[in-house]
Amino acid sequence: MKRKIGIFVIAAILAISMVGCNKATKDSVPSSSSSVAPATNAAETSKPAEKKETKTVVLATISGYYSTALKEAAEAYTKLHPETKVKIDIIKDNAAYKTNFDAKMAAGGDNAPDIVHTNLVVQPDPTEYINKGWLLKLNDFVNEPNPYNDGKTVFEGIDPAYHQNSYDNNGNVANVPFDLVGTGFYYNKDIFDKLGLEAPQTWEDLLADSQKLKDAGYIPLAMPYQSSESWMHTAFIDWSAQSVYPELLILPGDARYDEKVDSKNTSIKYSADNPMFDFGAVYDPEKVLNVIKDKKYDNQGPAEKKWWTTLKDLSQFYEPGYATMDDNSVYSLFISQKAAMFWSGSWQVGTLLVDQQKLKDKSFKWGTFKFPKFAAEDPLFPGSPRGILVPGHTLGITAKKDQEQVERTKDFMKYLYSKDVAQKIFERTLEVGEFVQGPSLVLGVELPAAVNDYLTGFKVAGNMSYALTNISEGVSDDKPASDANRLDFYQGKLTVEKFLENKAKFAQKLADKQIAENKYDLDPKTNP
């Protein structure tokens, strides 16, 4: 009798557990009311409505990341396709997002989300995840007609200037961009007006204005030092090293050359006057690594000395405690008008608009301005600094064995990338006070005029490239030591020469690691 009771109790526990698991994975469809209308032509153009097995497509996002509008789009899609439920899985933050995806893929991938923000899991380069077989190659997908977007191919519905950002190092399409994200300076117009200042256009003006703001008792610049200062580094590297890019391209005769993907490379020529000169460029990782050995880019050279010294000067105007201050505290200095300027991203525009409404009579006028030039022409920095305006929200598809699951995931992706649905997602996100990353890359989507005005500071010419970022300041497993090196330099404990020498060692270590891990022979003519 006792034995029977024991078995019964265990069976009951197991049954309850299994019901719980089943419920969590299959029935968690959002229940909020739908505001994102289905695309008008979708029903007619989608696949025949034969009775199919119900499947659940999971899109993983993070809190506030278009999450409300995505949930509504998911509901609208399910109404259109009752056989496919779409679950928007909201994960706490960026770190948890990557960990969650990595762990689920390592466990076989069956429970992994079907659609992921590749910008959160594989930045800066998706090659590794494509090679591991974790992300699907979207080479064919982007050229398939999108039934929700007047039959245009997926890529035809996306701003062509940003197609290049979809490729991995081997020329495979790893993701599809949804919007732009960029960084720039926000400034408090009321404070600037009070002190008779204009939005600075040059680094020299920026430093002079910062001194005036400091003298007037303000924190001149709220800088998210731990998270976002690095965008400035990449902009400077790109500005000074663009002429090297043509030598890094995958060209005919190289082992990686693929006519379909890399043919654009053959027509790329450097021009300081053309910020779009490298549009469509796909770089060879071995050529990039050879840059150090061949001394085509000097990561301790005069350009690096100049821009790092400029940043050191600027750091004297950062908020007190910038070295360890979290991003929310940095933002609070700007919104409370303690700081007159704020270096941040276009994603903050939506939040600022909402916060200004909440501030009522304590609100203030604000604007944005671009990453500045130097006052005098300098051959080390030809042309103009290029835009820190790159695709932000990029979606990729998880490689799963269930082909039907993959097909349904692709169909939902197409739905998201239709003009009407994307427009609704942007509108609804602004309406509920969540943040849009920046301008949409889905062609035909328009943002409200007020939002566009505030995005002016982020609309810059050209696309800066990350091709040489790791050559300048790549870090393998020495991030704390690298951070300490930069801080010591800013605080005057290191000369610029010693700082750059230390930094170059970190970059070399990362290069050595990449060479070893990928078994590169540094000969682009041979396949590693």
Partner 1 sequence: MKKYAVSYTLISPSVAFILIFMYYPLLSALFHSFTKWDMVTTHWIGFANFGRVFSDSIMGLSVSHQLIFTLTDLLKSIIPPLIVAELIHLLKGKRAKYLLRTGFVLNMLVPGMVGTLLWLSIYNPSYGLLNQLLKFLGLSEWTRAWLAESGTALWAIVMSGFPFISGVSFLIFYAAIGSLNNEVIESSRIDGANGWQVFTKLHIPMLTPQFKVLIILTIIGSLQDFVKVIVLTNGGPGTATVIPAYTMYGAAFASSEYGYASAIGTCLFVVILGLTLLNMKFLKTKW
Helix (H, G, I), strand (E, B) or coil at 251: coil
Q: Does 95 bind partner 1 (CB under 8 A)?
A: yes
Based on the shown chain and the rule CB under 8 A, indicate whether residue 16 belongs to the binding site for partner 1.
no
Q: With CB under 8 A as the contact rule, which of the stretches 4-12, 140-148, 259-267, 275-283 interacts with partner 1?
A: 4-12
Of the candidate spans 102-110, 301-309, 394-402, 431-439, the one that interacts with partner 1 by CB under 8 A turns out to be 102-110
The dihedrals phi and psi of 135, each to the nearest 5 degrees, come to: -115, 145
Interaction of residue 49 with partner 1, rule CB under 8 A: no
Q: Which of 325, 388, 406, 451 binds partner 1 (CB under 8 A)?
A: 325
The residue among 494 and 504 lying less far from partner 1, judged by its C-beta, is 494
Whether 318 and 330 have beta carbons less than 8 Å apart is answered as no
**Binding status of residue 108 toward partner 1 by CB under 8 A:** no
* Residue of 448, 453, 481, 521 interacting with partner 1 (CB under 8 A): 481
SS3 content of the chain, % helix, strand, coil (to 5): 50, 15, 40
Candidates 80-88, 96-104, 190-198, 343-351; binding stretch for partner 1 (CB under 8 A): 96-104
Contact flag: residue 132 with partner 1 (CB under 8 A): yes
DSSP conformational letter for 492:
T
Least spacing, CB of residue 504 vs partner 1, in Å: 17
- Per rule CB under 8 A, is residue 329 in the interface with partner 1? yes
Render the burial of 278-291: b for 16+ CB within 10 Å, e for the rest: bbbbbbbbbbbbbb
Beta partners for residue 179, in sequence order = 440
Parallel, antiparallel, or unpaired for β 389-391 and 176-177? unpaired
Beta strand spans in 34-141 (E): 55-62, 84-91, 115-117
Q: How far is the CB of 233 from partner 1 (least distance, A)?
A: 17
Q: Which of 209, 254, 319, 434 binds partner 1 (CB under 8 A)?
A: 319
Query: What secondary structure, in 3-state letters, does 415-477 show?
Result: HHCCHHHHHHHHHHHHHCCCCCCCCECECCCCCCHHHHHHHHHHCCCCCCCCCCHHHHHCCCC
Backbone φ and ψ for 248, nearest 5 degrees, come out as: -100, 0
Going from the C-alpha of 255 to that of each of 117, 305, 522, 526, the distances in angstroms are 30, 36, 11, 5
Q: Identify which of residues 107 and 208 has a Cβ nearer to partner 1 in the complex.
A: 107
Binding mask 202-221 for partner 1 (x = CB under 8 A): -----------------x--
The DSSP symbol for 155 reads G
Distances 114 to 25, 29, 101, 118, 126 between C-alpha atoms, Å: 13, 15, 10, 12, 16
- Give every CB contact of residue 462 below 8 A, 6+ residues apart in sequence: 275, 276, 386, 387
Task: Note whether 478 binds partner 1 by CB under 8 A.
Answer: yes
For position 519 contacting partner 1 by CB under 8 A, the verdict is no
Site size toward partner 1 (CB under 8 A) is 40
Stretch that binds partner 1, among 70-78, 264-272, 332-340, 395-403 (CB under 8 A): 332-340
Looking only at residues 350 through 409 of this chain, which bind partner 1 when binding is defined by CB under 8 A?
A: none
Which residue's CB is nearer to partner 1, number 128 or number 190? 128
> To the nearest whole angstrom, how small is the minimum distance from the Cβ of residue 324 to partner 1?
4
Which of the ranges 7-15, 44-52, 254-262, 379-387 carries the binding residues for partner 1, by CB under 8 A? 7-15
Q: Whose Cβ is closer to partner 1: residue 267's or residue 324's? A: 324
Q: What is the bridge-based pairing of β-strands 115-117 and 339-345?
A: unpaired
Specify which residues 366 forms β-bridges with: 188
Q: Are strands 339-345 and 180-188 parallel, antiparallel or unpaired?
A: antiparallel
When asked if residue 320 is in the footprint of partner 1 (CB under 8 A), the reply is yes
Residues in touch with partner 1 (CB under 8 A): 2-3, 5-7, 9-10, 13, 95, 98-99, 102-103, 105-106, 132, 219, 226, 319-326, 329, 333, 336, 338, 477-481, 483-485, 487-488
